[in-house]
Structure 1
Amino acid sequence: MKILHSWLKEFADFGDDIDALAERITELGLAVESVEHVGTPVKGVVTAQVLRLEKHPDAAKVTRVYVDAGDGVERHVWCGATNMQAGDIVPLATLGTNMPDGRVITQRGILGIDSEGMLCSGTEIGLSSDGSGLLILPRAQRLGVMCTRHSALTPMWCST
């Protein structure tokens, strides 16, 4: 049987140490055979909050999105997705991030204005098959934390 860590956390605060939890479950008489982590961490992709959106007067298909990654620095990122709004928590690939598809995130401009990273879909960071828009995270997420460290993003299974 597989048990999702986030499901267990709905019943009690077990903390984030999945190995300690597996050991406690085994001590209770349910042998945990394995722990599986889904999604490969992408170093440099952190949680960020959308502060505001601006349309570019000369580029109808992109939006300038201002985000806060928890460090008090307001960044602006060009984005072609349209499914975000102020207050949303989204994955931000910071400058220098090596993406799973081989791209390196660099400062790039659109019509003379640079972008300070890239907002990501679940597909781009290997956490979902839905690439139709940005991956919108639960609003209770801490900002600036590597995305796959969140239990909401990284399903962890205890196999018994």
Structure 2
Amino acid sequence: MSVYDAVEIDRLQGGSADLAQYLGSTVLIVNVASKCGLTPQYAALEQLQKQYAGQGFTVLGVPCNQFMGQEPGSADEIASFCSATYGVTFPMTEKVDVNGDDRHPLYTKLVEVPDAEGYTGDIRWNFEKVLIDASGSPVARFSPQTEPNAPEVVAAIEKELRTA
């Protein structure tokens, strides 16, 4: 079963993000925030987007304000910051909750994925990353502190692109 099944989420600038469009692609889903110490990871995420987009890969940024209020802006403010500061071209969804009673249904599925240490459960902080294969199944989870261009992330992306 795909993580995209029956999951509705809007784009940052409004309108449906239509997650079904990502079936057949490798996707790195990242909960993002503009005012976090890890925010510079946007640059490496954009680098991955540019490097692998032509091979059936995309980053999907999911803004979240649940961690010390580090994504307080409106959709326009978030989009403007990402574009002006980091040149972000990858798609971004609306701001959602990734934990708690109001957790978005997409994250209900993503928190079940273990990371390299076997951790499952709540998203721990901004910039936690989950890699989704071409069939829509989560295949890897990376901690917030793991840089997007870390060897283990790149290897996982390249492995999925080879098998897609």
Name the TM tier (shorter chain). under 0.3
More helix, by proportion: 2
Give the alignment's TM-score, normalised by structure 2: 0.27
Q: Structure 1-normalised TM-score?
A: 0.28
| Pair member with larger Rg | 1
